[in-house]
């Protein structure tokens, strides 16, 4: 319509030594699927110390939060498991240890055997991988984009699950491996910041 302003796409800015500043987000949910309050600009904790999680309360300053990647981190690897109907792509570098793959379809993901279930079951399970570590190839085409609306879900005692191609910006030019969905650390312990690497499990991160 003439005169109508173009809608601003949401964006996440990773602040050095500080929170995630999120612009233009319409949908923030908790792990029960309930809506959480949003404003045009919100700050979400990434140091793990806020007493008002998932929002930032300035605690990053008190604890001297740095927020960079660990320079001693050993990067993960890329694997492809080629089956008759589908190829599973596994980028272990961004795995958040969600385990939805081995819990939902162990015969495929524990045994690294794409042919141990139907192509539809494999795809349905891959789509549950929040970090984007798992994706697939069908007929040579690499599929990572599921076309969802922009939304962030605060997982219980775990990362922020981002879906819907929300742009990520930081001072280092960091980009997610999978642009449509990725997981962001909010416990402060990941060696692969800003992405979750499952360290919340090692430190026993709790929302309370
Ligand atoms: S939330 Fe920090 S490593 Fe997963």
Cα–Cα dist 201/179, whole Å: 25
The burial of 100, by beta-carbon neighbours within 10 Å (0-12 exposed, 13-18 middle, 19 or more buried), is given as middle
Q: Which atom of ligand 1 is nearest to the CA of 184?
A: 1
From residue 57, alpha-carbon distances to 42, 74, 92 in Å are 11, 32, 32
Q: 98 CB under 6 A from ligand 1?
A: no
Q: What pLDDT was estimated at residue 1?
A: 45
pLDDT one-digit tens code per residue, 172-198: 999 999 999 999 999 999 999 999 999
Do the domain assignments include residue 135? yes
d(CA 187, CA 206): 8
Q: Residues 124-175: pLDDT tens digits?
A: 999 999 999 999 999 989 999 999 999 999 999 999 999 999 999 999 999 9
Q: Report whether 43 contacts 27 (CB < 8 A).
A: no
124: containing domain = 78-143
CA of 4 to the centre of ligand 1 (A): 40
How confident is the model at residue 31, as a pLDDT? Answer: 96
Structurally, the chain folds into a number of domains equal to 1
Nearest-angstrom CA–CA distance, 156 and 151: 16
| Paired residues of 42 in beta bridges | 22
- Distance (angstroms) between ligand 1 centre and the Cα of 149 equals 23
Q: Is 197 in the pocket of ligand 1 (CB under 6 A)?
A: yes
Is it true that the peptide bond before 194 is cis, omega within 30 degrees of 0? yes
Q: Quick one: pLDDT at residue 6?
A: 56
Residue 43's pLDDT is 98
* Residue in 68, 130, 189, 202 to alter for ligand 1 test, most ligand atoms within 8 A of Cβ: 189
* pTM summary value: 0.95
Name the E strands within 84-159.
Answer: 87-91, 134-138, 141-143, 151-154
pLDDT for res 164: 98
Find the 101 Cα to ligand 1 centroid distance in Å. 18
Question: Band of the pLDDT at 208, cuts 50, 70, 90?
Answer: confident
What pLDDT is recorded for position 4? 56
User: Residue 123 is part of a domain; what is its CATH number?
Assistant: 3.30.70
47 lines ligand 1 (CB under 6 A): no
Confidence of residue 8 (pLDDT cuts 50, 70, 90): confident
191 belongs to a structural domain: no
206: in domain: no
Expressed in angstroms and rounded, the spacing between residue 66 Cα and the centre of ligand 1 is: 15
Give pLDDT tens digits for 59-113: 999 999 999 999 999 999 999 999 999 999 999 999 999 999 999 999 999 999 9
Q: Is residue 133 in some structural domain?
A: yes
Pairing of strands 11-14, 151-154: unpaired
Angle at 165 between CA 159 and CA 170, to 5 degrees: 65
| Residue 60 is assigned to a structural domain of this protein | no
Tens of pLDDT, residues 10-38: 999 999 999 999 999 999 999 999 999 99
Token pair belonging to 208: 């309370």
Query: Is 58 among the domain residues?
Result: no
Residue 134 in domain: yes
Instruction: Classify residue 40: in a domain, yes or no.
Output: no
């Amino acid at each position: 319509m003439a005169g109508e302003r173009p809608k601003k796409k949401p964006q996440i800015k990773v602040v050095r030594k500080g929170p995630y500043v999120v612009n233009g987000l319409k949908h923030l949910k908790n792990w029960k699927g309930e809506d959480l309050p949003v404003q045009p600009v919100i700050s979400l904790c990434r140091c793990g110390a806020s007493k008002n999680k998932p929002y930032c309360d300035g605690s990053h300053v008190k604890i001297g939060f740095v927020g960079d990647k660990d320079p001693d981190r050993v990067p993960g690897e890329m694997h492809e498991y080629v089956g008759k109907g589908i190829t599973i792509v596994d980028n272990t570098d961004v795995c958040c240890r969600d385990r939805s793959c081995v819990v939902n379809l162990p015969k495929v993901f524990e045994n690294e055997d794409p042919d141990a279930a139907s192509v539809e079951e494999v795809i349905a399970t891959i789509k549950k991988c929040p970090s984007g570590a798992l994706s697939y190839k069908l007929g040579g085409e690499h599929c990572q984009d599921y076309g969802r609306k922009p939304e962030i879900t605060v997982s219980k005692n775990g990362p922020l699950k981002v879906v819907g191609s929300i742009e990520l910006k930081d001072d280092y030019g960091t980009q997610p491996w999978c642009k449509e969905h990725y997981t962001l650390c909010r416990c402060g312990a990941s060696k692969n910041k800003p992405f979750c690497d499952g360290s919340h499990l090692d430190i026993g991160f709790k929302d309370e």
